[in-house]
Every structure is written in structure tokens, then in C-alpha cells.
Homo-oligomer: A and B are copies of this chain.
Amino acid sequence: MMEYTDASPVQIEAAMQQAWTAFQTYKNSSLQQRADFMRAIADELAQSATELVHIAMEETQLTEARLRSELARTQFQLTSYGAACERGAWLDVRIDTALPDRQPPRPDIRKMLVPLGPVVVFGAANFPFAYSTAGGDTACAFAAGCPVIVKAHPAHARTSELAAACIERAAMKCGMPAGIFAHLHGVSNEVGKALVEHTYTRAVGFTGSFAGGKQLFDWANQRKQPIPVFAEMSSINPVFLLPEKLETDGVSVAEQYAASITLGVGQFCTNPGLLIAVASPALDNFIGELSAAIQRTVPGTMLHTGIFKNYVERRAIALSQADVEMLAVSAQEPQYNQAAATLATVPASVFLTNPLLHQEVFGPYSLLVQCSSLDEMLQVAQALEGQLTTSVIATVAEAARHTALINAIQDICGRLILNGVPTGVEVCLSMQHGGPFPATTDSRFSAVGADGIRRFARPLAYQQWDNTLLPAALQDENPWGIWRTINDELTKEPVKRN
């Protein structure tokens, strides 16, 4: 592995100073300039695809197919968020025209979202492209009008260097201001701490462990001027299996879930780590099918040794808890760095009293909680922490009948799936990739989809400004042709001044 030196305090200071200077220009860029820049980054990634995938394979153990598809997703994020940026609806323009004859007169007021300032992005271990250097947080920050400072993930530092070079080339080609992007290394926590604490840092994006995200959140809140941190952290993505559906479709659900639990060696933040069902003969059949499928799974190589060791440890601790019983494990012996898919079970009464069983075992591991009744299933739902997703496996009739249960399940998640699997996070505006703590640090925002742009922007109202001095988005003529709310009506029409 190539070694990079941790960024020095002097380098960090220089990067932040340049980012702040770049911000003064970039914040006033047009939506089209931002979208062009984002498309240019996607082009550069496409041109460097072979090299990027090659290096990422060496660093992450992920397959070529997976990495190619992740790189394509990364390009799509850049181009589709760029397109959303250009459409301008995300600016949330609101215009209330003057009422000079009212007593007291109402001034003309116009509001839009403006960028927060330099954003520090921490790359994710499990997504070297899509949630790292040129990934979703970076794309959203650029769309919002913010310079980006990436702290590379040490587990794929060379991949990160290459992606950074793509961004830098795109910035040059698009005539972006120097300092719009910086790329720093840091194995030590001190680099991350210095970046989060720097006075010019105005927001933080992070995808990773609970411990890591929570630490950034705490540092950010302890600043003299606290700043928002969007950390996407920990989720066990509970799946509620309702009896009627299990009765009629148990076999196909078992197959679907065996695939979801083991997809990508279980290294997705939406991996279903918890199944909840009511004991019944249909459940026993389901367990048989799922166990057989898990046993057939070929052990897969994990991203890096740290993640592998963590899996082995966390799995051992989970399995050693009282009344936890192993149901199935991959029949084939795993090599070093490989994870054996594992299914365990525990009675709901035990699960409810042992908080350790609510914690994530990152990897192809799932725990089946067996309830004595639907009432107990409701208790489990009410006892769970915040999640990125929850899934309900149910007939339409039983989903309609069990309103208290569905209600409780809604309260703990950002995305609610019916008769599907949580893995596979679509990149589209309707996606919510976020959820109540500890899934993320702020459930009011999403890490996936163009709504993620809003994490890095804030409203600014202009009161009584001359039309010629206003930003284009707020001018009477609506030169960008965007949707705006004028006197409480959504329209693309120009403003008619009174």
C-alpha cells in the first residue's frame, strides 16, 4: 500500500483559507456553471474508469463488476444532482411583493437558499466511489455552491487521490476558482478534528461508523460556532415478517432475504441485520429455507482487515449472549479476511432486555427475533432505535389491519419498504437515506437524492432590494425559468410588481 503523509496543520490552514476565498466567488456561480462542473467531473471519472477500478480493486477487495457499477452510480449522482441543481426548485424561492397601501406597508421580500460555506467530507470505507471523494456529499455540496475539502479514507487512499485528480482537472477545465476543492490525507484523528474545528468549515458530511460520526458531531457542537454535521452512521434495518404473508410466500421471501443479507458481503448500511416474526409452523418453514440458503453462501472477502476483525468480534459477542442460538452459517470454511454469512435467533423477551443485541454487526449477519404474539412484535418495534430503513413483509390486508404496528415502525425509520429488501438505494428525488438517530445525526435531511443538496444550504431573505441587485433566481423576470412561490402561489411566471 502506498503511504501518504497526514496533512500538516499548515496544509490544513492553507486548504481552508483557499476554500474560503473560493467560496466568495463560487457562491455566486450560476446553477448552470455548477451543473457543468459536476458533469465535467463525471466525464473525468468516465475517462479514468479503468484506472480507478483497477486501483480500487487492489485497495478494497471489491469485485470489478461491483466497482464498475458503483462508479457508474457515482457519475449518475453527479449528472442527476447537477440536473436537479439546474432545475432550481431546490432553491425554495419565495417572493412576497410589496403592499405599499397596507398599514403598515409591507416591503418586498424574496428568499432563496444560499450555500453555507466550505464543507468537509469524510470518505466512506464501504463505498470508495459513491460515498467518498467524488461521491454524494461532494456532489451535493458543489450543487449547493460550497467548496469541498475531502479527508480521504485511508483504506482507499490511492483511489481517493485518483478521484481527486479528476475533480481537479474538471475544476481547471470549467475555470473554477482555486480552492474550490482540496484533498487531504489523515490516518490520525487529529486531521479530522482540525478540519471540523476550523473556523471556515461550515458543515460536515460523513458516512461510516457510529463511533466516528458521533465524534465528529460532538466536535462540531463543541465549537464556539457550532456547525451542522450530517453523519450517516449505524442501522440494522429491521424487517417485520407478518404471519399471513409468511404463510403464503415464505419461500420466496426467504430466498430474497438470503440474497439481501449476503449482498456485497453484508457491507451495506442498508443490510437487513434484524428479522422479527411471530413463532408459527410457517416461520419454521421460513427458517428452514433461509438457513439452507445461508449455508449455501460462499464466504466473501471483506473490504479491509479492520472491517473483517470487527465482524469476527461483533459476531462472536452477539452469538455469546444468553439465549442466542446460531441457526445457520456458510457451509464453506472462510479464509482469513473472509466473512461467513450467519443467521442466529433469540426470543423476543430476551431481545427486549439486552441492548447489545440491538447493535449493528457490520457484515453478512442477521438475527431473527421470535415473538410470541403480534403484541410482542409491537413492543419490539417500540424498543428499537432509529434506522435508515424498516421493511414490512405483509399482505395488503394485514398491513391495513395492524395500524399500531405500522405506526410504531414508521417512527423509527427514514424509508419504509413493503415486500421488498432494503439493500439497493435508488438515486432519485424521492429517496430518503437518513433516519432518526443513531441512523444519522439529523433525520430532517437525506444523504442520497438531490434533496441532499439542502443539507449544505440555508435560506437568505432579501428585503426591499432593487431588482438589478438581486440574484438571478429572485429577479422579477425569472431569467432561469425556475419554479417560484410568489404570494403563496407556485409559478414560473415573472413577478408583476404592484
Task: Identify the A interface with B (CB < 8 A).
Answer: 24, 27-28, 84, 87, 89, 92, 94-96, 104, 106-107, 109-111, 114, 116-117, 217-218, 221, 225-228, 385-386, 396, 399-400, 404, 407, 410-411, 413-420, 424, 426, 428-432, 434, 436-438, 441-444, 446, 451, 454, 457-466, 468-469, 483, 485, 488, 490
Our pick among B27, B451, B483 for the contact of A459 (Cβ within 8 Å) is: B451
Once the chains bind, are A428 and B96 in contact (CB under 8 Å)? yes
A164 to chain B, nearest CB (A): 27
CB distance from A321 to the nearest CB of B (A): 21
Residues of B within 8 A of A404 (CB): 24
What separation, in Å, do the CA atoms of A399 and B221 have in the docked complex?
35
Q: Is the Cβ of B429 less than 8 Å from the Cβ of A488?
A: yes
List chain B residues, Cβ under 8 A from A407.
24, 27-28
CB of B106 within 8 A of CB of A426, answer yes
Chain B residues with Cβ below 8 Å from A463 are: 415-418, 420
Of listed A84, A110, A221, A483, residue having the most chain B CB within 10 A: A221
Q: Is the CB of A430 within 8 A of B111?
A: yes
Expressed in whole angstroms, the Cα–Cα distance for A116 and B435 within the complex equals 11
**How far apart sit A114 and B409, CA to CA, in the bound complex (Å)?**
13
Contact A464 B417 (CB under 8 A): yes
A403–B221 alpha-carbon span in the complex (Å): 32
Residues B94 and A451 in contact, CB atoms below 8 Å apart: yes
Complex CA gap A147/B176 in Å reads 48
Whether B87 contacts A431 by the Cβ 8 Å rule is no
Q: Which residue on chain B has the smallest CB distance to residue A117?
A: B411
Residue in B117, B386, B490 whose beta carbon sits within 8 Å of that of A483 in the complex: B490
Contacts A228-B444, A399-B469, A410-B460 known; list 20 others, CB within 8 Å. Answer: A89-B485, A89-B490, A94-B430, A96-B426, A106-B426, A116-B443, A217-B221, A399-B466, A400-B468, A414-B459, A415-B461, A416-B460, A417-B463, A418-B465, A429-B485, A436-B458, A443-B458, A444-B457, A444-B459, A451-B459
Give A407 to B410 CA distance when docked, in angstroms. 43
Please name the residue on chain B nearest to A454 by beta carbon.
Answer: B444
In contact, B225 and A386 (Cβ under 8 angstroms): yes
Tell me the minimal C-beta distance from A337 to chain B in angstroms: 28
Q: Are A114 and B437 in contact (CB under 8 A)?
A: no
> Which 3 pairs, one residue from A and one from B, show the smallest C-beta to C-beta distance?
A432-B461, A94-B430, A109-B430
Rounded to whole Å, the gap between the CB of A448 and the closest CB of chain B is: 10
Q: Give the nearest-CB partner of A461 in chain B.
A: B432
Known contacts A225-B386, A416-B463, A469-B418, A429 near B96 by CB under 8 Å: yes
Sample (19) of A-B pairs whose CB atoms are under 8 Å apart = A28-B407, A84-B488, A95-B430, A106-B428, A217-B226, A218-B221, A225-B385, A226-B437, A226-B441, A228-B442, A396-B466, A413-B460, A414-B461, A417-B464, A418-B463, A418-B469, A419-B464, A483-B490, A490-B490
Give A428 to B441 CA distance when docked, in angstroms.
Answer: 30
CB-CB under 8 A for A431 and B490, given A468-B400, A469-B418: no
Task: Please state if A458 and B414 are interface contacts (CB–CB under 8 Å).
Answer: yes
- Taking a contact as CB atoms under 8 Å apart, the answer to whether A434 and B459 are in contact is yes
Distance, CA A490 to CA B92, complexed state (A): 13
Complex contacts, A416 vs chain B, CB 8 Å: 460-463, 465
In the complex, which residues of chain B have a beta carbon less than 8 angstroms from the beta carbon of A225? 385-386, 436-438
A396 partner, pick from B28, B221, B468, B490, beta carbons under 8 A: B468
Of B89, B109, B443, B490, the residue contacting A428 (CB under 8 A) is B109
Q: How far is the CB of A378 from chain B (nearest CB, A)?
A: 11
In whole angstroms, how far apart are the Cα atoms of A413 and B458 in the complex?
Answer: 10
List the B side residues contacting A468 at CB < 8 Å: 396, 400
Q: Closest Cβ of chain B: how far from A379's Cβ, in Å?
A: 15
CB distance from A252 to the nearest CB of B (A): 15
Contact A431 B464 (CB under 8 A): no
CB closest chain-B residue, reference A395: B466
Least CB distance from A412 to B in Å reads 11
Q: Which residue of B lies closest to A114 (CB)?
A: B410
**Shortest beta-carbon distance from A334 to chain B in Å:** 28
Beta-carbon contact of A460 and B441 below 8 Å: no
For the complex, give the distance between the alpha carbons of A184 and B411 in Å. Answer: 26
Please indicate the chain B residues that have their CB under 8 angstroms from the CB of A84 in the complex: 488
Once the chains are docked, how many angstroms separate the CA of A426 from the CA of B464? 12
Question: How far, in angstroms, from A104 to B114 measured CA to CA in the complex?
Answer: 36
Known contacts A24-B404, A415-B463, A459-B451; is-contact A429 B94 (Cβ 8 Å): yes
> How many Å from the CB of A391 to the closest CB on chain B?
9
